[in-house]
Amino acid sequence: MKRAHALGAAVGVAVGVAGTIAVQRATAPPATLVQQLQRLPPGSAFTIPPGTYAGEVVLHNPQRLTLRGAGAVTFSNGSDYGLKLDGGRDVSLSGIAFSHNRGHGLMAVNVDGLTVDHCTADANQTNGFLTGDSRRVTVTNSRARNNVGGHGCYLSQKGDGYLIQACTFTGNGRCGVQINAHPGGASGVRVLGNDLRFNPTAGLQLAAVKMAVVAGNTVGSNRSGTVVWDDGSGSAWACDGIDLTGQAGTFNIAKNSKNVKLPAKSN
């Protein structure tokens, strides 16, 4: 059973697996909050009060953690990211905004089980949502717009069990969604029913993805709609088993890709 707790004005806070806390280049939260966080076991739920939390927040190896925003909650003005998950398992984020960070909005590395729902990542300098070497990643009902140097949502390096559904990733510097799973590859990928317009490179770009279903996305007003990519680097980057039969729009399929199913041509 998850234990519910209120997270106060924790600016620049790193929370460890057992709830221990270290303050990084920011004002310390109240002592009572520090004591509370130190006692938190895995399986806890945090509620963050409304406010803008400036600086970088790092959570080291959180386990079965639920982090919710109560009202308008924004992580902003971080140097490399607004919030970073460094390891961990079964982390759920909802109702949180990541904006105007000098790097990424949300960054998650080596996380096994990440759910992002009803979150936004706008106007960051690199990517809105970024994962690396993470598996079982679900991003739903979320938005990433106008992230000037990168992608709206970038799932990178190896992983499996990705779901991106009912999101809006528009006006970013490169792609709406980029899944680049080299090295290692990714399987069990689903990209369903998203708005991926107005990105200069592509609405969706896949590389080194093995087994994916792409359907029902809006991909107009990009240079390319859906790209199945190998970077011109051969089979290590190539995709295999991509089902595009439920996807409309334009397609750019690299020659090294295998078993790509395209929509039937209408008469």
Residue 28 in this model has a pLDDT that exceeds 70: no
Average pLDDT over residues 239-243: 95
CB 62 within 8 A of CB 91: yes
Average pLDDT over residues 2-18: 43
Among 20-29, 50-59, 182-191, which is the least confidently predicted range? 20-29
Would you place residue 18 in the very low, low, confident or very high pLDDT band (cuts 50, 70, 90)?
Answer: very low
Average pLDDT over residues 227-244: 87
Average pLDDT over residues 85-104: 95
- pLDDT of 233 reads 72
Helix (H, G, I), strand (E, B) or coil at 33: helix
CB 57 within 8 A of CB 37: no
CB 137 within 8 A of CB 163: yes
- pLDDT of 89 reads 95
Classify residue 9 by burial, with Cβ atoms within 10 Å: 0-12, 13-18, 19+: middle
Overall size of the chain counted in residues: 267
Among 148-152, 183-187, 204-208, which is the least confidently predicted range? 183-187
Average pLDDT over residues 188-194: 97
Domains in the chain, ordered, with CATH?
Answer: 3-261 (2.160.20.10)
Residue 6 in this model has a pLDDT that exceeds 70: no
Average pLDDT over residues 239-266: 92
Average pLDDT over residues 124-151: 97
Would you place residue 5 in the very low, low, confident or very high pLDDT band (cuts 50, 70, 90)?
Answer: low
Would you place residue 29 in the very low, low, confident or very high pLDDT band (cuts 50, 70, 90)?
Answer: very low
Please state, rounded to an integer, the average pLDDT across all residues of the chain.
Answer: 84
Contacts of 13 (CB under 8 A, 6+ apart): 21, 22, 23, 24, 26, 29, 37, 57
Q: What are phi and psi of 37, to 5 degrees?
A: -65, -35
Among 55-64, 151-160, 221-230, which is the least confidently predicted range? 55-64
Comparing 256 with 120, the larger pLDDT belongs to: 120
Would you place residue 45 in the very low, low, confident or very high pLDDT band (cuts 50, 70, 90)?
Answer: confident
Would you place residue 228 in the very low, low, confident or very high pLDDT band (cuts 50, 70, 90)?
Answer: very high
Query: Which among 95, 163, 170, 105 is positioned nearest to 134, based on CA atoms?
Result: 163
Percent pLDDT > 90 in the chain is 60
- pLDDT of 164 reads 98
Average pLDDT over residues 55-70: 85
Contacts of 35 (CB under 8 A, 6+ apart): none
Average pLDDT over residues 96-110: 96
